[in-house]
Amino acid sequence: MADVVTTHNPAAHRYEAHLDGELAGFAEYELTDARVVFTHTVVEDRFEGKGVGSALARFALDDVRADGTRRVLPRCPFIRGWIGKHPEYADLVDGTANG
């Protein structure tokens, strides 16, 4: 199986995952001065179960951490659930915001 290739597409306000050269999924976000608000994540049906969603979440959250200027507001149920299963990312979540 080919590796999932993840990229940041700031013009489209989303992180993207490609598998075998095809767009396999994406995580959309909105930016505020203090937050990256994850709003929606999609993994195409034919790529389900191939690690696409997990690769997207890890890449996006690692990117937010590396940038260091914003916190995360996970309005998207997938991103919120993924963070719940990976507590090493919980420190990125903006605990002051109602989501």
Backbone dihedral angles phi then psi of residue 6, each to the nearest 5 degrees = -110, 140
**pLDDT at res. 79:** 97
Could you report the per-residue pLDDT of 47-99, keeping only the tens digit for each?
999 999 999 999 999 999 999 999 999 999 999 999 999 999 999 999 765 44
Could you report the per-residue pLDDT of 26-53, keeping only the tens digit for each?
999 999 999 999 999 999 999 999 999 9
Structural domains of the chain in order of their starting residue, each with its CATH number: 5-92 (3.40.630.30)
**pLDDT at res. 95:** 77
Scan for tokens 């597409």, then name that residue: 9
**pLDDT at res. 98:** 47
9, 18 contact by CB (below 8 A): no
Q: Report the alpha-carbon distance of residue 78 to residue 34 in Å, rounded.
A: 21
